[in-house]
Structure 1
Amino acid sequence: MTSAGDPIRVGVAGAAGRMGQTVCRAIEGAEDMVLAGRADPALGVELGEILGDVDVVVDFTQPDTATANALACVRAGVHVVIGTSSFDLEPLRGLDHPPNVFFAPNFAIGAVLMMRYAAEASRVMKRAEIIELHHDGKLDAPSGTAARTAEMMQGDVPIHSVRLPGLVAHQEVILGDVGQTLTIRHDSVDRESFMPGVLLAVRRVGSLTESPVVGLEHLLFDS
């Protein structure tokens, strides 16, 4: 593991994908990190080949591989930051291993604020529904962000999913009450919007006092 003052050695799983490439660039631009490994079938590099060289793995892969990737990281003594949504988190609960697991449905700071505000508003508004809109290459529906938002809100909150070319990641929470509506909306128009949150998670995952932790709000707010 890295000594105090040394840069964090980061590996990226799914490094050839659109998010993975963006994460690699962000890590290369961070003064306190070094990109120590890129894993992706498209690059001919398996995750296991880089685990001996890294302190933290950032996973932006597929729902059917993210759980196995995280388990492999933990067993190798490597912390893992997961951005892949709709994967099975249950096998990662209660593991007797020191490395930590952090998962965020959305790494954009504005999206985390949107979710927090929606949760607060749902306590006093009568009903709410969520509309989430993503690019047509997104595999899961509803999105992890929408599912997490509904989970944080009070009441039964229906989710409507839209998949179209030209979109990146967008979500509206519409709340209604007698004679009024309230709309809370967040738009990510570029994948760079997720990078400050990803870098924050990489910096903080090693100091978590419990694992797994779900949600960037736990790194942004005291409560």
Structure 2
Amino acid sequence: MNQTKRKDAKASKPLSRIQEANRKAILDAALDVFATSGFRGATIDAIAARTGMSKPNLLYYFKSKQQIYQQVLEQTLEDWLAPFEAIDPEGDPVEELRRYITAKLEMSSKRPEASKLFANEILHGAPVVGSFLETTLKDLVTEKTKVIRHWVGEGKLAPIDPYHLIFMIWATTQHYADFDIQIRAVAGSQAGRPGFSEQAAQAVLTIILNGIKPR
């Protein structure tokens, strides 16, 4: 019994600053590997090599590839949902949605690997995050659709379906990460020029926000 308690205490012992930094380095490297190779194609060896760690050292922090993959997905969803949760029911609807769309576009631009990883998970039937989508995400979306409906009812937004507005924001903002190759093929050298991301963000904001402003 005492031995079990000692093991539990050891398992729950807070990580040092160096250990926290190593965990973050592993997850950052894993995001790149999983986004490039998918879950099946990714290996512990590839992730370890990307971090500069030995495989045994990496396995000190995470027991398996599955555990690393799940942690990366959970961190991605946590980052994505933070600005969505921050939508203030008491704020100006257009400005609240402008901030949310801007945040999503910035995430898509700065961390396209996260969007690609999530898209790949969804395309494979969401084996890891399926229950999260059906519970936590569903509940949050339900909460925010009520906020949008309230704004519509007060005449602060045009009559729109909240679910389809949210789906449109997700699809549009993540498109720039998920379909980067297609965008570069179509837009050519323009896609690589400084200011292209800002131009895209302004276009998306103008189109969506002008569509939801009260008539």
TM-score relative to the length of structure 1:
0.30
Greater share of helix:
2
Greater share of strand:
1
TM-score relative to the length of structure 2:
0.31
